[in-house]
Structure 1
Amino acid sequence: MLNQKGFTFLAALMIVVIMGIMLGLMGQPWKTIMKREREKELLFRGLQIRNAIGSWNMSKAKVTPLNDLKDLLQDPRDLQKKRHLRQLYKDPMTGKEWAIIKDKTGAKGIIGVASTSEDVPLKNSFAEYSGLDGFIGKKKYSDWRFVYGTDPGAELTTVTAPQ
């Protein structure tokens, strides 16, 4: 009986070590799951903003430049309450403001948004989304540009919104 002192403590310590190793192995898949969910949210929010910019541009006969994303919440061009966007979304990858993509000529103002994240995307197939064929092969989230109309690419000025 004297030789069995501390056996329970040693067994409990081994169980804790084994549980720590198992939890450590589960951490990586959990991180991937969370990144995949943020990617889905990025696509949802980016498409919502892109569609709201399209609604802004289609709602009046004369195109008025969109100078602030807040104008999508309540259209200042009309006396009636018109909402193009339900709420101002933040970039889900960074939790910060979007990079604002403006038309080079300034005639249309803001034409899109992009994430400011430099992380490598997990998603590489966009068959279930309409108009996102240009996202295929992009190496970072900041290359996913949610632009209304055609994206002239390098001709745009990307300005990070103030916080």
Structure 2
Amino acid sequence: MRAGSRCSTRAAAGGFTYVLVLLLVALMGLGLAVAGPRWSDAAQREREDELLRIGSLYAQAITRYHEASPGSLKQYPPSLDSLLQDTRYVGTRRHLRKLYTDPMQPGQPFALVRGADGGIRGVHSTSEAQPLHSSLPPMDGVADMPPASKYSQWIFLAKPQP
């Protein structure tokens, strides 16, 4: 055998490995392209669940604040801080443990829904993104919500007892 023929065999084998690596990279890219939307949907579903949980907590806290109003005149909280520390009583009364941010807009606070008296009646997200679910199941302490086409239409209103 000649030395030149051995060199060409190595070059051919190196080319085959290169094609195999390119094929492997293409298959990995295809797999990630298929898995990407599923991961994105799963992350959005988790944020939606968190939005429902936190929105429900706010609505229930506002309801408790309203129902615990001293006297016959029931009031809604003037600010979200009033839910953390209700100063209408001698002792400290807390309706909410902490203020939560909007899970659909990380770092952003919830938008407030105010009543005619200026008190807070509920909260909603500021996100204009489309939800995975348009209609929601009934939640304890939250007024019923109509179907929505964006998260900002999910309004978590207090549902005081009649």
Q: Quickly name the TM-score band, shorter chain normalised.
A: 0.7 to 0.9
Matched residue, 1:69: 80
Q: Where do 1:5-154 residues align within 5 Å? A: 5-62=14-71, 63-95=74-106, 96-106=108-118, 109-127=119-137, 129-130=139-140, 131=142, 133-135=144-146, 137-149=147-159
Number of residue pairs aligned between Structure 1 and Structure 2: 147
Counterpart CA distance in 1 for 2:76 and 2:138 is 31
Counterpart CA distance in 1 for 2:55 and 2:14 is 63
Shift of 1:138: 1.1
CA 1:104 to 1:60, structure 2 compared with 1: closer, same or farther past 3 Å? closer
Unaligned runs of 5+ in 2: 1-8
- SS state of the match for residue 81, structure 1? coil
CA contact (8 A) 1:126 1:132 kept: no
Matched residue, 1:154: none
- SS state of the match for residue 134, structure 1? coil
Matched residue, 1:153: none
What TM-score, normalized by structure 2, do the two folds share? 0.82
Shift of 1:60: 2.4
- SS state of the match for residue 121, structure 2? strand
- SS state of the match for residue 8, structure 1? helix
Amino acid at match of 2:25: V
Unaligned runs of 5+ in 1: 151-163
Counterpart CA distance in 1 for 2:134 and 2:111 is 22
Counterpart CA distance in 1 for 2:148 and 2:82 is 30
C-alpha RMSD of the superposition: 1.9
CA contact (8 A) 1:93 1:117 kept: yes
Shift of 1:132: 5.6
Counterpart CA distance in 1 for 2:88 and 2:65 is 10
CA contact (8 A) 2:62 2:76 kept: no
Counterpart CA distance in 2 for 1:31 and 1:79 is 49
Shift of 1:75: 1.1
* Regions of 4+ moved over 6 Å: none
- SS state of the match for residue 100, structure 1? strand
